[in-house]
Structure 1
Amino acid sequence: MKDHSPPNHYGQTTAVPTSPSTPPKMDARIWSKLPEELLDLVLSFLPLKNFLILRSTCKRFKSLLFSPSFVFKHSSAFLLLSHPQCFRHFPLYDSDTTTWRKLPLSLSAPLPCAAGAAAQASLLCASNGLLCFSLPNSFLVFNILTKSSRVIKFPDCPFGFELFSLISTPAGYNLFMASSRSSSKSTFVYHSKARSWQKFDFTETILSDNCHQKGVYFKGCLYFVTPEPFSIVCFEFESGKWERPIPELPTELVFARLVSGGGEKKLYLIGGVGRNGIARSLQVWELEFGGGMKWVEVESLPDRMCKKLMSVCFHNYEHLYCFWHQGLICVCCYNWPEILYFKISRRTWHWIPKCPSLPDKSSCGFRWFSFVPNFHSSA
């Protein structure tokens, strides 16, 4: 019987098992000579959770998985849902493949000494692959991919905060929040590099006590929309001062939200336009800087979709919030399980349907975040 075994590197033949129950084995010498671009392609088909397992296999895998080119090509971006009825996992929506996934979450590892603290954790923010949770008397900043975490104590106890924001950049991250429930109104900023809090006092009440509002990071500042009469204020991280850099907003606004996108190079305004406190349309503007700052209308929400959105929030516009996600402006409501989004590149509006893992009778408390896994963001 003729041997059909392939020759090996030394010209000799190697027996290949033919039993259907025994899978063929790849010669280690062949695997080691596999071009890196082919290895990159093979690994891209693996589920995201398996990437971390491969780190301990060999140094080559670890360096490849953590290379910026691999992360850029093969990491997915998700819309992450936090809801009281999904406390043991986070539903993830992949906007590229339009599919739902589940992200199991266990905070027991980063909280080994805080018995029961994980059960009280509440997700506050997501930024650049980092998640920030509130805990009793502290915050937890956590990277699910690398399992790195940090528990950050409140600057004072007892402590009440609002307008909480997490700003993550390649140079580190900051926690921002305001505290105005006492006679002393203060702004607190935590610097990850220095591992310390910085306190800035302010006397003017320039923002509402809407704890749902989050700042929009744009060109080194954190931007907010004030209550009526609407205006925009910003907090400068370098000076610790509040400013009003943009003097005018479009007329007849009933509510207004901000998002920053395009690599933090563009600032968008999403607003309801109407009269007597009732919004009749939803519009998107972009801030242009040529020849002075001005708002330029980008698109309006079609009437049918606008009627659905307004019926969802029952004219309680404080329940609406917006955020940027990979070229999309997402419009959400705390008491509605669907997301309305505007695709900037095509100027089209779409609804993302309800997550199938949610119960049919879901209570309010839908909180969506843009979650982009990042190996290089360290807590």
Structure 2
Amino acid sequence: MDPSFHIPTTIPSPSIPGGAPWMDCRIWSRLPHRLIDRVVASLPPPAFFRARSVCKRWYGLIFSTAFIELYLHLSPSRHWFIFFKHTRLKNCIAAGGGEAFLFDPENLKWYRLGIPQIPAGVSAVSASGGLVCFVSEEAGSKSVLLFNPVMGTLIQLPSTLRPRLCPSIGLTITDSSIDLIFAGDDLISPYAVKNLTSESFHIDGGGFYSIWGTTAALPRLCSLESGRMVHVKGRFYCMNYSPFSVLAYDVAANNWSKIQAPMRRFLRSPSLVESRGRAVLVAAVEKRKLNVPRSLRLWALQECGAAWAEIERMPQQLYGEFAEAEWGRGFDAVAHGDYVVILIKGSERAVMFDFGGKRWSWICPCPCGGRDGMRGFAYEPRLAVPITALLEQLTLPFNSFAA
């Protein structure tokens, strides 16, 4: 601290019963800018954008390279979620604008974000590292957009090389690398689709890149229907159907393998999520012919990569309420950090499990939610994402759009 800087001490207020302390308002004008910047850099995005209206200097912080570097160094990780409405997203985008909803599971708060920058004909398919991946819905080579909802910026990646219908998609982004993979639903003719191949996009700070040049054959007789993948320690995982199993893609080895799912004959609505560095399977268990109560369970993939261990089970009373609300419609799960959110399809209702507090609870519905349900992704709101600079430098001719 600057030795010439003096902080007035708090003194008892004669106007407040009990002599409650108060702080001289003049202290704020005496704080050094470097200290104020550290405080502002630690604010969550909603508070940061409210603070920008205080003065011209705070408004301009977002354009300061020094502040952005400070923000990247100091800003804590936030295990939030981002949700999009199923039908209204497409309708709003077609009309020239859409909306997304951020959920803070620690404080149980919702925030609405307008997304007018997203063009028509694309859908949100994955999120990582502060960016949301949008992919074109039309059959054929897929257009790919990486979008920062907080800043409203877009980066367009090169289109995939192979024509596909509705592939399963995985994304993982760090400060120095990006891996994006498309798998299955190969269009072998205008009238036939098969799950035959995968192709991936990779760029890292070491100068290595593969722009859809890395391909691999999928296991025989695989059925990818969920469209989702999760990334855990160098591998992408996705659900395989009929019967249930899990497909794993090793990024470094560029090969696929199949892992047997736990209780695969009795699972309903299985979802794969990543939580605290583990691949976790969330599913309802229904053994109609055995004397075992129906339940919703969580299994974690063990270090050997081939066995599962049950780690949590929804309390039976809560499961009764959940099953009554779900009424056989199915559900999806999404996880981030300590939190797992289980959303009932075609509904705005959801249950959350907190690994840290070992608590199950219903969460407050989104104030702008609807009856069509929502699609959610793990999301860390960030003002700056370092990988975007690398993408713009190494993958020209990309198109970048600013809000």
TM-score for both structures, normalised by structure 2: 0.70
Alpha-carbon distance in 2 for matches of 1:120, 1:39: 40
Alpha-carbon distance in 2 for matches of 1:249, 1:271: 10
Choose from 180, 183, 189 the match for 1:175. Answer: 180
Which amino acid in the other structure matches residue 39 of structure 2?
A: L
8 Å Cα contact 2:83/2:101 also seen in 1: yes
- Alpha-carbon offset, residue 165 of structure 1: 1.9
Distance 1:55 1:121, change over 3 A: farther
- Alpha-carbon offset, residue 365 of structure 1: 4.4
Which amino acid in the other structure matches residue 346 of structure 2?
A: N
Distance 1:61 1:25, change over 3 A: farther
Matched, 1:106 2:116: yes
Structure 1, unpaired ranges of 5+: 1-7, 10-23, 109-117
- Alpha-carbon offset, residue 349 of structure 1: 0.7
Equivalent position SS for 2:38: helix
Choose from 188, 191, 198 the match for 2:202. Answer: 191
Alpha-carbon distance in 1 for matches of 2:362, 2:262: 27
Alpha-carbon distance in 2 for matches of 1:338, 1:121: 26
Distance 1:249 1:39, change over 3 A: same
Choose from 246, 249, 272 the match for 2:284. Answer: 272
Equivalent position SS for 1:200: strand
Distance 1:138 1:281, change over 3 A: same
TM-score for both structures, normalised by structure 1: 0.74
Distance 1:190 1:34, change over 3 A: closer
- Alpha-carbon offset, residue 146 of structure 1: 5.2
Equivalent position SS for 2:284: strand
Matched, 1:303 2:316: yes
Show CA shifts across 1:310-355 (max 9, x none).
34444344xx222212311221233121221111122211111221
Alpha-carbon distance in 2 for matches of 1:158, 1:119: 20
Equivalent position SS for 2:309: strand
- Alpha-carbon offset, residue 132 of structure 1: 1.0
Distance 1:221 1:133, change over 3 A: same
Distance 1:27 1:225, change over 3 A: closer
Alpha-carbon distance in 2 for matches of 1:182, 1:192: 26
Which amino acid in the other structure matches residue 374 of structure 2?
A: F
Structure 1 ranges of 4+ moved more than 4 A: 24-28, 42-46, 56-60, 145-148, 276-279
Structure 2, unpaired ranges of 5+: 6-24, 53-57, 93-97, 189-193, 389-403
Equivalent position SS for 1:353: coil
Q: Report what 2:398 is aligned to.
A: none
Q: Report what 1:91 is aligned to.
A: 101
8 Å Cα contact 1:143/1:377 also seen in 2: no
Alpha-carbon distance in 2 for matches of 1:311, 1:252: 23
Rg (Cα) greater in structure: 1
Show CA shifts across 1:245-298 (max 9, x none).
x45624653233322221x2x2322222122599921112233438x9643322
Q: Report what 1:285 is aligned to.
A: 299
Q: Report what 2:39 is aligned to.
A: 41
8 Å Cα contact 1:55/1:65 also seen in 2: no
Further displaced range: 85-94 or 168-177 = 85-94
Q: Which residues of 2 match residues 324-335 of structure 1 at below 5 A?
A: 324-335=335-346
Which amino acid in the other structure matches residue 127 of structure 2?
A: A
Distance 1:53 1:195, change over 3 A: farther
- Alpha-carbon offset, residue 62 of structure 1: 4.1
Alpha-carbon distance in 2 for matches of 1:157, 1:213: 17
- Alpha-carbon offset, residue 222 of structure 1: 0.8
Q: Report what 2:266 is aligned to.
A: 253
Q: Report what 1:345 is aligned to.
A: 356
Show CA shifts across 1:57-91 (max 9, x none).
7665444333x22x11xx64432220133643212
Q: CA RMSD in A?
A: 3.4
Distance 1:273 1:287, change over 3 A: same
Q: Report what 1:222 is aligned to.
A: 236
Q: Report what 1:164 is aligned to.
A: 169
Alpha-carbon distance in 2 for matches of 1:186, 1:147: 33
Q: Report what 1:18 is aligned to.
A: none
Alpha-carbon distance in 2 for matches of 1:204, 1:241: 9
Equivalent position SS for 1:47: helix
